[in-house]
Amino acid sequence: MAKINNLKGGFKIVKVEGPVIFAVSDSIGETAELVAKAATVQFNSGHVEIRRYPYVTEEEDVVEVVEEAKKYKNSAIVCTMVLPEIRKKLLELAEANNIPILDIMGPMMDIVSRITNIKPKLEPGLVRRVDEDYFEKIEAIEFAVKYDDGKDPRGLAKADVVLIGVSRTSKTPLSMYLAHKRLKVANLPLVPEVSPPEELFQLDPKNVVGLTIQPEILYKIRQERLKALGLSSDATYASMERILKELEYADEIMKKIGCHRIDVSNKAVEEVAARILEIIRRGEDR
């Protein structure tokens, strides 16, 4: 609190002792605050208060910060301003009022610009957006693992897209690839002996993609899979009769749902994923 002295019948506000550091930014101000905290913990000279002032994007915001800092006898400003005009105004006002100020972002951007020969974007909040993208990607990957291969039908309603198809139609690789695009993907194998969960038929068909494949190609893939596992190629799993039965069953389920279909025969994961993304975008534009 400010000290108030009686002066000839009136009152005069005396500067507060402080010390206070104002962490100022045209974004959320987290970096400025962390730098201030990292510095102050190195001193045992008493408590230093740190106040964060985020989203300072207008000149009147700058004036407000400086006016607040002027109330304190011992105050300083540390800033991470991206917007050059606002940063310049803050520096000028702080210096004009003898308030110590540390500009973190300006000199750092100058150095990066010099060594890369690239001009900065000058967009506040880009670090936060990058962080948000990263955590969305991790969340999507964890989702794909949790709801892979029909492990939990409750995930179908939570997914951005659901992939269905017989075994060896690249459902899992596609789920992981799309997760890196920040899409939550659940996948479900279609097997004649196992009825699909009711949750599948309650989904909006535009959010379901059926993966189909040519029988001859699936036959070769399954034969190779058995060899890799050290199993006999005579197993029912890789017989043409079994494959045709599974594909016919999958076709019936896809028709019942009325979902999109993609033939994955001889197609790379990236190619199929691009088609799925296109289907999703079309659905969102409706």
Answer yes or no: is 167 a known binding residue: yes
Evaluate if residue 285 carries a pLDDT over 70: no
Same domain, 137 and 270: yes
The whole-number pLDDT of residue 125 equals 65
Answer yes or no: is 145 a known binding residue: no
Same domain, 109 and 144: no
What value does the mean pLDDT take over residues 66-89?
Answer: 91
Is position 48 within any domain?
yes
The C-alpha atoms of residue 199 and residue 273 are separated, in whole angstroms, by 24
pLDDT digits (tens, 9 = 90+) for 103-138: 988 888 888 888 888 887 777 766 666 567 778 888
Answer yes or no: is 169 a known binding residue: yes
Answer yes or no: is 128 a known binding residue: no
Q: Which of 90, 107, 124 finishes a domain?
A: 124
Task: Write the CATH number for 49.
Answer: 3.40.50.10700
Evaluate if residue 222 carries a pLDDT over 60: yes
The C-alpha atoms of residue 66 and residue 180 are separated, in whole angstroms, by 44
Answer yes or no: is 166 a known binding residue: yes
Same domain, 41 and 176: no
Is position 3 within any domain?
no
Domains held by the chain: number: 2
Containing structural domain, residue 180: 130-285
Same domain, 147 and 193: yes
The C-alpha atoms of residue 152 and residue 208 are separated, in whole angstroms, by 16
Evaluate if residue 46 carries a pLDDT over 80: no
Answer yes or no: is 114 a known binding residue: no
- State the pairing for strand pair 10-14/3-7: antiparallel
Same domain, 36 and 144: no
Q: Tokens standing for 241?
A: 């009769």
pLDDT digits (tens, 9 = 90+) for 202-216: 999 999 999 999 999
